[in-house]
């Protein structure tokens, strides 16, 4: 993890964040709902982190998520699926730029990384 913060995002911020979903029926409700309470935004780095994160989250539609995933265990409806995960490195970079200034990112190398990565 290279960054984390709790923040109440505005409807405008969430509208930008979820812009790729604008044509879907749950978009307006999702944007309004997300702006009602704080969120914890995080930035993770690592080999395959986007793919691994998506596996941990489960499918966007909780009804299609496997047990043991966050959405499979804790969600019922798409518009209330508890957490968001970027679907690509490119979208992650765009989303990180919405939520964090470069100065807030703490890039570091864990001491055990030589034992984990080639």
- The pair of structure tokens assigned to 25 is 């029926």
Adjacent-strand bridge partners of 42: 4
* Biggest CA pair distance of the chain: 46
Write the DSSP string, 42-86.
EE--STTHHHHHHHHH--SSGGGSPTTSHHHHH--SGGG-S----
CB of 31 within 8 A of CB of 10? no
CB of 26 within 8 A of CB of 79? yes
74, 84, 87, 94: which is the annotated catalytic residue? 84
For residue 17, indicate whether it is catalytic. no
> Catalytic amino acids?
84
């Amino acid at each position: 993890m290279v960054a984390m913060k709790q923040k109440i995002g505005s409807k405008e911020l969430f509208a930008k964040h979820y812009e790729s979903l604008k044509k879907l029926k749950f978009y307006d409700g999702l944007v309004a709902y997300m702006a009602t309470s704080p969120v914890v935004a995080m930035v993770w780095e690592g080999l395959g982190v986007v793919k691994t994160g998506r596996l941990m989250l489960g499918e966007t539609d909780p009804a299609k998520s496997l047990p043991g995933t966050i959405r499979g265990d804790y969600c019922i409806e798409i518009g209330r699926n508890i957490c968001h995960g970027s679907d690509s490195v490119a979208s992650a970079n765009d989303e990180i730029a919405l939520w964090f200034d470069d100065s807030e990112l703490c890039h570091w190398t864990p001491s055990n990384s030589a034992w984990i990565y080639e």
